[in-house]
Amino acid sequence: GDQVKQSPSALSLQEGTNSALRCNFSIATTTVQWFLQNPRGSLMNLFYLVPGTKENGRLKSTFNSKESYSTLHIRDAQLEDSGTYFCAAEAQGGRALIFGTGTTVSVSP
């Protein structure tokens, strides 16, 4: 619930544009994962982050543990980027992931 706040809840993008999603954490977070869920429900792993930044193609993600947030940047959005993006935090103590509420991204021509 409130432990991982994800924003925005929905995002409409035109092809070729850039955008960013954000998660703020109210718990001490050791690692962050980002997923993309397709309409059938399958969760695809995008990033697994310790504090720092990773990049994969048009996606880049940062996890700042000191300021308790993570971002996912989408560059040059394509139609296949549409779906629901979730961040998930692993709290100290190694418990299961705590999910954000998701960002539904729609990319249009």
CA–CA separation, 77 vs 94, rounded Å? 34
Residue 72 contacts residue 63 (beta carbons within 8 Å): no
Instruction: Using the rule CB under 8 A, give the single segment among 10-18, 63-71, 72-80, 94-102 that binds other proteins.
Output: 94-102
Binders of other proteins among 11-50, rule CB under 8 A?
Answer: 31, 33, 35, 37, 40-43, 45, 48
If one asks whether residue 98 binds other proteins (CB under 8 A), the answer comes out as yes
Measured distance CA(83)–CA(19) in Å, rounded: 14
Q: Are 27 and 89 in contact (CB under 8 A)?
A: yes
Tell me which of 14, 56, 96, 109 binds other proteins, using CB under 8 A: 96
Would you call the peptide bond into 8 cis, given omega within 30 degrees of 0 as the criterion?
Answer: yes
Q: If binding is defined by CB under 8 A, does position 106 make contact with other proteins?
A: no
Q: How many residues bind other proteins (CB under 8 A)?
A: 20
Helix (H, G, I), strand (E, B) or coil at 18: coil
Q: Judged by CB under 8 A, does residue 88 bind other proteins?
A: yes
Stretch that binds other proteins, among 14-22, 53-61, 69-77, 83-91 (CB under 8 A): 83-91
Mark the segment that binds other proteins (CB under 8 A) among 21-29, 60-68, 69-77, 81-89: 81-89
Instruction: Give ∠ CA 46-58-99 in degrees, rounded to 5.
Output: 30
